[in-house]
Amino acid sequence: MICESGTRQLINRCIALIKRNAEVIDSLPFILAHPDLMPFNYLVDTNGCITAVLDWDGTTHERLEYNLHFAQYLLGCMTCEGWQDYADRETVEAAFYSAFYKRVEAHGTVPSTEFSFA
């Protein structure tokens, strides 16, 4: 089936990504990790600034990369026709990863060229 083949390909890509970045992932610091960083768990002011994060149920102590799955919601959304990238995806994605790398480097953890999200 196409779905099963696509799922297998996605799983294999994820495993390859983890293997490529294993040493870098192991060097990341532990943080208080929110289990559900979806858009509906943020309070945002009229300027677009996050003022609070809601629903901390199930919070755990994890490596920094644990929360990166939420970043996809900065770049697009699911519609009835499937995933749709926002028009400014490239700009937002570049800004997000630039800020992410700077903050991680500021803690002396990982040089930005070592961590590959591709």
**Lowest-confidence segment of 3-7, 32-36, 111-115 by average pLDDT:** 111-115
Listed in sequence order, the residues at least 6 apart from 58 whose beta carbon sits closer than 8 Å to its beta carbon are 35, 36
* Angle at CA of residue 63, ends 106 and 6, nearest 5°: 115
Q: What is the pTM of this model?
A: 0.48
Instruction: Report the mean per-residue pLDDT for the chain.
Output: 77
Please state the rounded mean pLDDT for residues 32-55. 84
Nearest to 86 by CA among 39, 25, 30, 28: 39
In the chain, the percentage of residues whose pLDDT exceeds 90 is 2
Return the DSSP state at 29: P
At 98-112, the pLDDT tens digits run 887 787 777 776 555
pLDDT of residue 1: 45
- Residues 31 and 107: their CA atoms lie apart, in Å, by 13
**Overall size of the chain counted in residues:** 118
Q: Is the pLDDT of residue 69 over 70?
A: no
